[in-house]
Amino acid sequence: MSRVNRPVSTRQAWWLLAGALAAALPLVQQVPVWLAAAAAAAFAWRAALTWRQWHLPPRWLLVLLVIAGTAGVVMQYRSIVGRTPGIALLVVFLALKLLELRAARDAIVTALLCYFLVLGQFLFTQTIPTALLSCLTVLITTATMLAASDDRPAPLLQLRRAALMLAQAMPFMLLLFILFPRVQGPLWGLPQDRYTATSGISETMSPGSIAQLSQSDAIAFRVQFAGQVPPQSQLYWRGPVMPAFDGRTWSIRQILAAYSELPYAVQGEPIDYDLTLEPNGKFWLFALEMPGSLPPDGALTSDYQPISRQIVRNRLRYTQRAYPASQAGIDESRAMLRESLALPSGGNPRTRALGAEWRNRHGDDGAAILATAQDFFNRQLLIYTLNPPLLGPDMVDEFLFESKRGFCEHFAAAFVYALRAAGVPARVVAGYQGGEVNPVDGYLEVRQYDAHAWTEAWIAGRGWVRIDPTAISAPSRINSNLAAAVPAGEALPFLARTDLAWVRELRYRLDAVTNGWNQWVLGYNPQKQRDFLSSLGFGEPDWRSMTAALAVLCGFVLLGLTAWVLRNRRRTDPAFAAWRRFTGRLAARGTVWRNWEGPLAFAERAAAASPAHATAIRDIAALYARLRYAPAPRREDLERLRRQVADFRP
């Protein structure tokens, strides 16, 4: 019987079931409930077949199950092409393959399916826990492959052998990762058929929208400054600009054109930094005001909103230079100014009257109206809160004159409305404000609870001027953080709390590790590879030099591993080596030695199976036992054992 047609033993079946479970369990949350339940039923069925030693199901039944599973995937996703339907189909095949484990080649196919599903985990998430779980799955699957060849070693010994093999492969993996020419794009790039929901600032803003976002402590982006971190009050990360207002919701304007070059002259001292943006499912990017450069494949809208030409679905890193002192929009178009003056036909009569009074007092002097508006907000004693009350149709009037409680979107919306009522062009800008420096790695971490909204007003001769009405009533929000600004007793995001020092220290370290993983593993792109290799003295590496270096270094690693194997082989007990040759010859005739079995007991069993060679078998076993267990074995016994094993030809 050939090796590939050898029947699958009970121990091998248990190993294959363990490998399949390890590969499929991490993907349970990515497949529909019915498929997860069906796969679990197939695994339980396979376990029962192995435990009870029942016959495998007939092939016609398996064919029907394959057809049913494939049809279910097609009905669920309307396709079998793509990330999620492809993985679902592989789970179906793996679960059903366990039910037809008859020969060794079935075991090998099952193990290879497990390896492929390990790769499938990275198509959904590439976090450190995913990587660690994948390493465990690969270890179990490799032990399964070893068991498919030889199931005699105990489970712990199989796992140890698998771990040793993977450790030997580790240097090659590192060399391939560092030197293999990279392609542009994410580490696990794939045309995605379904995108998971991403949190972040949206294209609209209504009362309470940013307040809800402030309850999330998810990372929005990380920043590494080339020099000293600017003061908290200067960290305005510009995002979507919202000039359109329908009476309740502010929204972005339609992007008709975008600048490939800066539409304003930069002024003042620059601020250089690298920003690593988490996926947000939108086109826009975030940058300090005002950007002095554009990211690769990026542009700037007519209202100076940095955007990407493609939706940000993967982590994106770009280098920026900001000029906070720059003036933009001094020669703004009439259409843009008209859009920034538009108000709904009715509503908020008290704020309209207030704006008209400012207009009558100061005429066309936008700077004077702006100063008056700031003074008015300061005198209103507005309260910054994460739990603003619900507002009716005249929400600006209710906020300014009745409840006087709101979050940043209430302040920004009311300020813009009042300025427009006074004839001053104004608009809402959404983004993030501030951030927190991680003392472990020095990166500034900007989280979703740092989401913020502020105001821009157009003043003749100055262009667009940033005014943050939140800073007028709650300056601690801008100068410090969210926790310092809200009233005592209000619920804060867990990571924004300042009363749990040990949690903050733990968070700093975990975030630093995660950031290092993102920057040096997931973010190891062609540019970072060139920079790293240049720092090692490769000059300007190209694919030819990297391939040559990869071949040479892999050759050295292979030589080192070969020397290590030969050194360990010389240490092998010569008596045991002769015994293994002897038992191997008997195994070829169907009598397999088990590593827990004593030599004399095995000799009796082998002699009974091969009576014609009983004397030779017993003599060899006795010699081996004397060499292994005698207090002072004789060297001539070893030579005699070698001769008898060499002459033994069953």
Distance CA 160, CA 156 (A): 6
- Distance between alpha carbon 542 and the CA centroid of its chain, in Å? 29
Written as one letter, the residue type at 187 is L
Chain mean pLDDT for the chain:
85
For residue 322, the surrounding DSSP H or E stretch is strand 316-322
Q: Percentage of residues in the chain with pLDDT exceeding 70?
A: 91
Q: Note the pLDDT tens digit of each residue in 526-551.
A: 777 777 787 777 767 776 777 777 78
Residue 193: what pLDDT?
A: 43
Q: Say if residue 144's pLDDT is above 70.
A: yes
Do 242 and 286 touch, CB atoms closer than 8 A? no
Strands (E), 96-247: 204-205, 219-225, 236-242, 244-245
Q: Is the pTM of this model over 0.85?
A: no
CA distances from 490 to 207, 452, 474 (A): 18, 18, 15
Q: At 530, list the tokens.
A: 């060139």
CA distances from 87 to 24, 133, 189, 501 (A): 10, 17, 15, 42
Q: Say if residue 222's pLDDT is above 70.
A: yes
More confident residue, 429 or 522: 429
Nearest to 526 by CA among 549, 548, 544, 543: 543
Residue 199: what pLDDT?
A: 57
Distance CA 409, CA 329 (A): 24
Q: Say if residue 353's pLDDT is above 50.
A: yes
Q: Say if residue 102's pLDDT is above 60.
A: yes
- Dihedral, CA atoms, 93, 96, 102, 107, nearest 10 degrees? 40
Q: At 311, list the tokens.
A: 């939706």
Residue-wise DSSP of 419-470: HHHTT--EEEEEEEE--EE-TTT-PEEEEGGGEEEEEEEEETTTEEEEE-HH
Nearest to 284 by CA among 302, 303, 308, 267: 308
Q: What is the mean pLDDT of residues 308-313?
A: 85
pLDDT band, residue 192 (cuts 50/70/90): very low
Residue 39: what pLDDT?
A: 93
Q: Say if residue 296's pLDDT is above 80.
A: no
Residue 483: what pLDDT?
A: 57
The strand pairing partners of 445, in sequence order, are 222, 436
Residue 488: what pLDDT?
A: 52
pLDDT band, residue 115 (cuts 50/70/90): very high
Written as one letter, the residue type at 71 is A
- For the annotated catalytic residues, the residue numbers are 408, 452, 468
Q: What is the mean pLDDT of residues 405-415?
A: 90
**Residues whose CB falls within 8 Å of the CB of residue 472, separated by 6 or more in sequence, listed in order:** 374, 377, 378, 411
Q: Say if residue 356's pLDDT is above 90.
A: yes
Q: Say if residue 196's pLDDT is above 70.
A: no
Q: Note the pLDDT tens digit of each residue in 577-604.
A: 888 888 888 888 888 888 778 888 888 8
Residue 197: what pLDDT?
A: 45
Q: Percentage of residues in the chain with pLDDT exceeding 90?
A: 36
Do 494 and 217 touch, CB atoms closer than 8 A? yes
